[in-house]
Structure 1
Amino acid sequence: MEITDQQQQISEQIEEQLEALDLPEEPSLLYDPVRYTLSLSGKRVRPYLTLIGCGMCGGDLEEALPAAISIELLHNFTLLHDDIMDRAETRRGEPSVFKKWNSNTAILSGDAMYAKAFKQLQYYGEEDSYSKNQYKTILDLFLDSAETVCEGQAFDLMFENQPDVSIEEYIRMIEGKTAALISGALAMGGAVAGVSSDVLEELQYVGKKAGIAFQIQDDLLDATADPDKFGKKKGGDIIEGKKTYLTLLALDRCNTKQEAELKAILGDPESEIEQINRVIGIYEDLDIIQDTKKAVQYHYQEALTHLEAFEDSAYKTEIFSFFNRLISREY
């Protein structure tokens, strides 16, 4: 996914701030996994949106850096804990902290990142230029995002043992698990800029729709992307039997024979590439791939449409460009 000069500049600011975090050498068992996690090649979508959201609302990007770093730390905290729950051996194409160390270390290091995220937000409580109400708004957005992510993860866990899950239930789940932090990231940028509650709600809606699109797109890429680019094994969701947008849509449309095939393969750890390709073949027969692409386009378009409410600026142009690049991403 090609990036603009402005995004490159913002990305460099984010990386500089992450590298400047106070991560002591000892205890190494606590901080080495944090350093390792932050060194992996993440997209930094959430801190980027915090900074762009602030700029689009007329704020100073430098002032939004603590909020941006806090949301990135929160995101990585959730990933460490997700990998434990999923028993995931890789993250971003490298061994997960859970695999490289162990679950206890991953829990502890994740907790440290959560604490570091809060420390970033102390800036807004200490600076006289921010009112108590503005500081409270920034904190509330952060905490609401964290709480909603937990709710989304809980729904995801419940779905593992729930035989029938509707598309509507699935969307509700990803509104929490994926979209909450993207929504919160944009809104926190606006809160730093001091915008009204109505504008914050608009930012949250844009982020929610973009987050839904992003997750459905991830579901799609699991089945269609080049594994080397995507950083995950092709059909990983199929092997794990995850309830994704594609599987739920397929199970809703398939005939009896296709249903039997799908249920026999989904979640079978012994599935080979032939079985994975058979599932993908069923997706294609039922127009699942094409209709999933349409769903991704729909939710991204909703986000873009609501961005029109904001005044024209270089930042608005940049976020339009960014979402359009996300639409066409291959990993």
Structure 2
Amino acid sequence: MGAMMIKLSDELEKFFAEGGREVEAALRKVTAPDEEPIANLDDGLLYALGLDAGASAQGKRLRPLLCLLVSDSLCGRTDQALPFAASIELMHNFALVHDDIEDGDEYRRGRPSAWKRYGVPHAVNLGDYLFTKIFAALLLGEGAVPAEKMVRFFALMTKTLDHTHRGQALDMNARFERIDLAHYMRIVTNKTGYYLAAPLVAGAIAADAGAEVEQALQRYGMAIGPMFQIRDDLIDLTHGKGREAVGSDVCEGKRSFLAAFVFERGAANEAARLEEILNKERSETTPEDVAEVLEMFNRTGAMAEARRVCEEMTEQALVEIDGLPEPLRGRLVDVTRYLAARQA
């Protein structure tokens, strides 16, 4: 399944295109300055979100579109889900701006990352400003979304931010460690599990779907989020991720699923050599180093195991949504298969 190219249905493609326009309009509304624009800030917001005139890519908008999809599937409308959808996209991009600084990634979505474009001090401030817009987006629902739902949206966002930052701390703490697979899963569960589950749950809250549906979507998100990250680890070494080259994670010294596999199950000399390469400064990591690591990941079975785990987590995610009402279940099955087979 992992090697197949799977496309979304025409119906979902149309829904996501329309939903993307809704999200973009909300993002533009919440990021529009109330006073004279400030250089390196207001233009930086648009740059980070891919809304500036020079943008050729805006990112997948996966999380906000899932939020809208759940709400539409359950109640036939998206208006009460839109504020959370916009806020989760702002959260995602706030995290990416700071993440690129922390990782030293110079490219994002095929062009210079925010810190490379504006400098580190401005990018830190830009990320902080994006953080404030998370809550401004939630307040787009004021007067239109019932107060009890607004409170739940704020609580859900707070919980999601908490887990994401804890996961990022675990990730940074692991940069020079020989982590095992259990530790890797703890990192990605916090970093990607909770904040892929959150928009799904928010869509159910918006639709008044009830606790049983919310809990099923939470479990689904907690399976599909780590799968998404492991798939990212594979894509980095096969197709790249909109960064400067294939193997950016190796240059960064990232402790990916593949690295954790070799540290835990590889021979002592292989683990030592991998650690030596990953611990190099980014500027000292050569294309030959990246090629050696890729060959090691293939030879040791790390790549095959990552694909196997992705398939296993995909099937577990599908089990969690099996009892959901149509058309939500069928739509999420299609999305899940698509995400599991993606190449970018």
TM-score by length of 1: 0.92
**In 2, Cα distance between equivalents of 1:75 and 1:204:** 18
Query: Are 1:259 and 2:275 an aligned pair?
Result: no
Amino acid at match of 1:13: E
Instruction: Give the length in aligned residue pairs.
Output: 325
1:116 aligns to what?
133
Q: Name which of 178, 184, 192 aligns with 2:198.
A: 184
Return 88-97 or 57-66, whichever deviates more: 57-66
Q: Name which of 183, 200, 206 aligns with 2:214.
A: 200
- The CA deviation at 1:59 is 5.3
Return 114-123 or 304-313, whichever deviates more: 114-123
- The CA deviation at 1:149 is 0.6
**In 2, Cα distance between equivalents of 1:152 and 1:22:** 27
**In 1, Cα distance between equivalents of 2:221 and 2:244:** 25
2:163 aligns to what?
148
Query: Are 1:222 and 2:231 an aligned pair?
Result: no
**In 1, Cα distance between equivalents of 2:182 and 2:266:** 18
Query: Are 1:62 and 2:74 an aligned pair?
Result: no
1:281 aligns to what?
295
Amino acid at match of 1:175: T
**In 1, Cα distance between equivalents of 2:175 and 2:271:** 18
Q: Is the 1:98–1:105 Cα contact (8 Å) retained in structure 2?
A: yes
Amino acid at match of 1:101: Y
- The CA deviation at 1:41 is 2.3
Query: Are 1:248 and 2:260 an aligned pair?
Result: yes
Query: Are 1:90 and 2:107 an aligned pair?
Result: yes
Question: What fraction of aligned residue pairs are identical, expressed as a percent?
Answer: 28
Deviations 1:195-251 (A, max 9, x none): 3233222211111111100001111111122x3x74442111112221110011012
**In 2, Cα distance between equivalents of 1:15 and 1:135:** 21
**In 2, Cα distance between equivalents of 1:303 and 1:58:** 22
- The CA deviation at 1:2 is 4.3
Query: Are 1:72 and 2:83 an aligned pair?
Result: no
TM-score by length of 2: 0.88
**In 2, Cα distance between equivalents of 1:194 and 1:289:** 42
Which contiguous aligned blocks of 4+ residues in structure 1 show a shift greater than 3 angstroms?
A: 19-22, 229-232
Q: Is the 1:71–1:185 Cα contact (8 Å) retained in structure 2?
A: yes
Q: Is the 2:68–2:78 Cα contact (8 Å) retained in structure 1?
A: yes
**In 2, Cα distance between equivalents of 1:261 and 1:267:** 10
Structure 2 residue ranges without an equivalent (≥5): 1-5, 51-56
Q: Is the 2:91–2:131 Cα contact (8 Å) retained in structure 1?
A: yes
Amino acid at match of 2:38: P
Amino acid at match of 2:160: S
How well do the aligned residues superpose, as a CA RMSD in angstroms?
1.9
- What is the SS of the residue equivalent to 1:243? coil
Q: Is the 2:107–2:242 Cα contact (8 Å) retained in structure 1?
A: no
2:3 aligns to what?
none
Amino acid at match of 1:248: A
Structure 1 residue ranges without an equivalent (≥5): none
Query: Are 1:330 and 2:331 an aligned pair?
Result: no
**In 1, Cα distance between equivalents of 2:175 and 2:286:** 22
- The CA deviation at 1:135 is 2.1
Q: Is the 1:42–1:92 Cα contact (8 Å) retained in structure 2?
A: yes
Q: Is the 1:153–1:177 Cα contact (8 Å) retained in structure 2?
A: yes
**In 2, Cα distance between equivalents of 1:10 and 1:317:** 18
1:32 aligns to what?
43
Amino acid at match of 1:328: A
